[in-house]
A and B are shown apart, each in its own frame.
Chain A
Amino acid sequence: MTPAKLDLSPLRRAAAWRPAEYAFWLLPVAAFFLFPKSLALLSQIAITALFCLSLDLILGYAGIVSLGHAAFFGLGAYAAGLMAKYGWGDPLLGLAGAAVMAAAAGFLTSFLVLRGTDLTRLMVTLGVSMMLYEAANKLTDFTGGVDGLQGVDIQPVLGMFSFDLYGKTAYWYSVAILFVMFWLARRLVHSPFGLSLRGIRQNVGRMPAIGAPVNARLVAAYTIGAAYAGIAGALLTQTTQFVSLDVMAFSRSAELLLILVLGGTGSLYGALIGTMVFMAAHHFLSDINPQYWQFWLGAALVLIVLFARDGIMGLLRKLSTRARTSS
């Protein structure tokens, strides 16, 4: 007795690609031709976007706040860097190694963040990342400490495209990886697994009552988020051929959280757009006013919170509804 009355297509086709999405992914192609001399910045935007996506998976979907996500980014960065230093310089192999490394760490630490309030989680993730930071700082022989890890020798991508001064290879490589990872994440959030994560975020108390093992799901989500962060870290290592201790710093975690909230949590495009806007604003402001640019960034943040609380995605959604209702 399938009810003939109900049109199921809104849910059936929820995961279909929309025209705006196709248009969005033309942006990186357009950017390549429009700003051929800013590819270094554009690559780092792509990498940060992937990093931000990883936080979105755990915060925006699974609802775990973290102030220590840079730990996984850093682990990935070091994993890829060390692999390259000791002869495993193939980029894709490096990404895989970084993902495995970060996922393992994510899995182990996920058990620490299952309990507690947001504040507790913030502080536990922060504490874990600070300890990793100190460890990386202490293991100077291994990581280079504050001086950074050098001698990161990356082979050409797929054995064909070597990293060049203009950053063309780095750019296409970063964008390609971002796209593939985004595509996977997009599948994931639209799947029943993704739906269950949304369920956990919206009402964690109900999930066990419909038979969902909440802790196991959170562990899985956290592990996946960590793996994503690890891949982003590895990309940074490979495109800059250097690892600085700063990859694990608190400021990186905090800034990331900022970017994500700015873009809007719980929507993958929010993570991407937030990164683009933040990094571009950062770049232009600091170029115009290298000493005091932070003031304007701060002012922008305050205004956003006061007048556009759901982040950029929320603003866009509001605008599109308004456009629809008026037309």
Chain B
Amino acid sequence: MTPVLQTRNLSKRFGGFFASKDVSLSIEPGARHALIGPNGAGKTTLINLLTGFLEPSAGEVFLKGEDVTRLAQHQRVKRGLVRTFQINRLFAEMTVLESVTLSVCERLGLGWSWWRPVGDHTAAIDEAAELLATLRLLDVAHEQTRSLAYGRQRMIEIALALAARPQVLLLDEPAAGVPTDESRELFETIAQLPRDVTIVLIEHDMDLVFRFAERISVLVGGALLTEDVPEVIAKDRRVREVYLGEALDG
């Protein structure tokens, strides 16, 4: 099976410092894949490189076999590679329904349509509403995004990405800052996503990672330390050292 997402020797240098170093990663379709590593290991940098938010200093990114290294962010989104952000990037003054409709419209290629009002694009609105229903956000559909509690805003962060109908969804610490009970609910939602969506996840909470992920890659100092199924990773001495070491430092 061709990997849906693959990198070859991906590197990013800031001056003399390697934020990503020779990362070669391969992710199968339908995978539930977690990226872990201590702070500053280059997890977010990797996602930035994959999605085109950063340009790599060397190496390539392949999406479904196609070289997308030189493509702009939005072009990768069009090809099914979608991400969320560690710190919410939302449309504060739009209602929740508007925000999601915006994302749906972009996917449907309506972004240039300027004559008919948004309200007349019923298919887009219906789809947005449906998505909100799935994510149990219907009750706040007409609220302004900024008026919502943080946990729900975090859901919208994901909703915006899902509205783009990702084939590969990169989640950057989706539960960061969310209270425990809400984060469980959030992960349930993620877990229920259909199998044709490949999920790559960055998460600090090891409980959640081990419950959810089927494969785990460990990053240290920008480089890939190891990659395997959770059971093996859990026993890996080097991984424990990395985490232990960090714990000692902290």
CB-CB under 8 A from B72, the residues of chain A are 208, 213
CB-CB under 8 A from B83, the residues of chain A are 209
> Which residue of chain B has its CB nearest to the CB of A217?
B111
Which of A95-103, A190-198, A228-236 lines the interface with chain B? A190-198
- Whether, in the assembled complex, B234 has its beta carbon less than 8 Å from a beta carbon of chain A, the answer is no
| A187 to B101 alpha-carbon distance, docked (Å) | 17
CB-CB under 8 A from A8, the residues of chain B are 97, 125-126, 129
Q: Are A214 and B74 in contact (CB under 8 A)?
A: yes
Q: Are A2 and B129 in contact (CB under 8 A)?
A: yes
> Which residue of chain B has its CB nearest to the CB of A13?
B119
Interface size class of B (residues with CB under 8 A): 35 or more
CB-CB under 8 A from A190, the residues of chain B are 117-119
| A230 to B193 alpha-carbon distance, docked (Å) | 50
Given known contacts A2-B129, A202-B93, A208-B77, A191 and B164 CB-to-CB distance under 8 angstroms: no
Which of B7-15, B102-110, B180-188 lines the interface with chain A? B102-110
The 6 closest A-B pairs by CB, nearest first: A15-B117, A211-B77, A208-B73, A206-B89, A193-B114, A190-B117
**Shortest beta-carbon distance from A243 to chain B in Å:** 31
Q: Are B114 and A11 in contact (CB under 8 A)?
A: no
- Whether, in the assembled complex, A34 has its beta carbon less than 8 Å from a beta carbon of chain B, the answer is no
Write out, one digit per residue, whether chain A residues 13-34 have a CB within 8 A of any chain B CB (1) or not (0).
Answer: 1111000000000000000000
**Shortest beta-carbon distance from B58 to chain A in Å:** 23
Within A179-195, the residues touching B (CB, 8 Å) are 187-188, 190-195
**Shortest beta-carbon distance from B93 to chain A in Å:** 6
| A191 to B105 alpha-carbon distance, docked (Å) | 10
Q: Are B112 and A193 in contact (CB under 8 A)?
A: yes
State which of B89, B113, B125 has its C-beta within 8 Å of the C-beta of A203.
Answer: B89
| A217 to B83 alpha-carbon distance, docked (Å) | 21
Interface size class of A (residues with CB under 8 A): 35 or more
Given known contacts A195-B118, A198-B94, A202-B94, A11 and B101 CB-to-CB distance under 8 angstroms: yes
Within A195-223, the residues touching B (CB, 8 Å) are 195-196, 198-199, 202-203, 205-214, 217, 220
| A188 to B141 alpha-carbon distance, docked (Å) | 23
CB-CB under 8 A from B141, the residues of chain A are 6
- Whether, in the assembled complex, B85 has its beta carbon less than 8 Å from a beta carbon of chain A, the answer is yes
| A208 to B102 alpha-carbon distance, docked (Å) | 12
Q: Are B129 and A3 in contact (CB under 8 A)?
A: yes
Q: Are B91 and A203 in contact (CB under 8 A)?
A: yes
| A314 to B87 alpha-carbon distance, docked (Å) | 29
Q: Are B91 and A198 in contact (CB under 8 A)?
A: yes
Q: Are B163 and A210 in contact (CB under 8 A)?
A: yes
- Whether, in the assembled complex, B121 has its beta carbon less than 8 Å from a beta carbon of chain A, the answer is yes
Q: Are B102 and A199 in contact (CB under 8 A)?
A: yes
- Whether, in the assembled complex, A5 has its beta carbon less than 8 Å from a beta carbon of chain B, the answer is yes
State which of B52, B118, B164 has its C-beta within 8 Å of the C-beta of A192.
Answer: B118
Given known contacts A13-B119, A193-B111, A198-B91, A211 and B106 CB-to-CB distance under 8 angstroms: yes
Write out, one digit per residue, whether chain B residues 113-132 have a CB within 8 A of any chain A CB (1) or not (0).
Answer: 11111111110111001101
Q: Are B117 and A205 in contact (CB under 8 A)?
A: no
- Whether, in the assembled complex, B82 has its beta carbon less than 8 Å from a beta carbon of chain A, the answer is yes
**Shortest beta-carbon distance from B104 to chain A in Å:** 9
- Whether, in the assembled complex, B51 has its beta carbon less than 8 Å from a beta carbon of chain A, the answer is yes
